[in-house]
Amino acid sequence: MARIIGGIGTSHIPSLGPIIDRGLTQTPEWKPFFDGYAPVQRWLAERRPDLAIVIYNDHGLDFFLDKMPTFAVGAAAEYPPGDEGWGIRPVPTAIGDPDFSWHAIESLVDDEFDITICQELRVDHGFLVPMNLLWQSDWPVRVMPVSINVIQHPVPTPLRCYKLGQALRRAVESYDADIDVVIVGTGGMSHQLHGERAGYLSRAFDTQFLDLLESDPGRLTELSRSAYIDGAGAEAVELIMWLTMRGALEPFVRRVHRFYQMPVSLTAAGLVVFENMAESRR
């Protein structure tokens, strides 16, 4: 039986891609941030998951405002990087797992999630930057991308996303193959990129979110979408993708690592790693 070994929440800031590509991660300005990811890189190297379910949002590369699925799941053998307007980044093509993806898709539909099935899918920085941060230049893991709409309102509710995570857990645990799976929820912490509140950040909101994500995620599902936007900025609604990750884990988890820095580019940046309690005792 497949098992979930843990979950990771991480920012997916687009400006980090060029920093990585230009070899600037160890400059004085950037070293403190990238050092914050060393513990999770060691954890992944030790645990060696076979598959990563990467929950992210597309930023207009493969989906746009005219056609924006609420939930889309990849079923492809590979996921190439796309051109977001400044050329295709020198990163690997992510390798998929069609057998698992089709199992997960059928399981999600049986769980009454109406999803868009993607047999071809290009991925942008929402997916690529976390892969760089977690596995650096070598990506020794198969992936299943799960794209959530946080661009075109109405976006899904925090509770619906948490339930999607629970459904993903059922999909994993009903899969016959003996594989280890890690769930990655991506997206910004507090930030707003436009309007009168452009540049808005909130350490208080981010800290409370990280605390509750670990100890009482149910309280985060009770917040409205407006509460996320009002408290942490318009683009911070991306935190519902972290909540999706948490829904896929057990109610009680062990925190492996937590890191936070503000600002990074135009956003606050965070990282958290949880192990399921049963896995932490293995």
Q: Catalytic site residues?
A: 125, 191
Separation CA 1–CA 103 (nearest Å): 13
204 contact partners, CB below 8 Å, separation of at least 6: none
Count of beta carbons in the 10 Å neighbourhood of residue 83: 11
Q: How do the residues of the chain divide into helix, strand and coil, expressed in percent and rounded to 5?
A: 35, 25, 40
Phi-psi region of 52 (alpha: psi -120 to 50; beta: other; left: phi over 0): beta
Question: Residue 157 corresponds to which tokens in the numbers above?
Answer: 């509710």
Separation CA 109–CA 112 (nearest Å): 5
